[in-house]
Amino acid sequence: MSQSFTANHHNSLSDATALRRKVLVTGAAGNIGSYFAGHSHDKYALTLMVHDNDEEAKKLEQFGEVVTGDITDLEQMKQLCQGMDVVVHLAADPSPSATWDSIRELNIEGTYNVFVAAKAAGCRRVVYASSIHAVSGYPADVQVKTSEPVNPGDLYGVSKCFGEALGRYMAEQENLSVIAIRIGSFQPIESVRKESGIGMVDAWVSQRDLNQLICKCIDAADIKFAIFHGLSDNRFKRLDISDAKELVGYAPEDDASKEIPQVKELELNQKVGAHSMQDGGQKSGLREEI
């Protein structure tokens, strides 16, 4: 775990303050951004950056100041970052099948611009939307920890590895705090409850769980750099989420195995053993000695 995060002060990962932070959200009209805006505007003073001022963008006006911007324009990003405490960088080409031209422009150059603009404007932190695709090249039966090497399963994943590496550089060498969240299958609970939800059994992150984690990452006081895995508390997890639990107090509320119809009826949480003293009726050989 020590390889995947850095604290500003040794042994000092303190609780967040109650400060109403000014937060710039790129890609605010997307699925994650619009949910975050709708559920966190009371907590933060939001500037919601959209690419097009369309009907979806207009819906965001009730949650904060909506601005039109382009992450490929460095000078514009510098202006938008002025006065911000935190930048939540969600804007990207989100398709695992995206072409190199699109990935290079948005996910590589655009991400570079956001980090540089945040640093130039004196922002405190960037919360970077990475992806499970940064490590999806590992076999399906491997639970990936944040301290293990990246292993992207596609070019989209490669672009997210770039963002993580750039984020660490900015944190360690340029003194801009960065937290990267490797986001799993972000879907509303209605989607995971369908028969097709079985495909998300080990990778689902609910809307409210990811929103909680983003807020924890905005507020955490003394983290210089970290990578966290953004999954719900699924009975079977493709990614290990213990770092986020321990370092920022992430407490996911949802579990795919309790929602997916084919899995829910199996009652795995009651039937699958822990193979330890957590299993009912198992006694410790130590008890007679103490």
Cα distance between residue 223 and residue 7, in whole Å? 5
Q: What are the structure tokens assigned to 229, written together? A: 């895995």
**Residue 43 backbone dihedrals phi, psi, to 5 degrees:** -90, -30
- Which of 44, 112, 156, 250 is flagged as catalytic? 156
Cα distance between residue 265 and residue 28, in whole Å? 37
Beta bridge partner(s), residue 127: 88, 179
Q: In this structure, are strands 5-7 and 223-230 parallel, antiparallel, or unpaired? A: antiparallel
DSSP state of 143: P
**Residue 209 backbone dihedrals phi, psi, to 5 degrees:** -70, -45
Q: Is 112 a catalytic residue?
A: no
Residue 175 gets the label, from left (phi > 0), alpha (psi -120 to 50) or beta, of left
Active site residues: 156
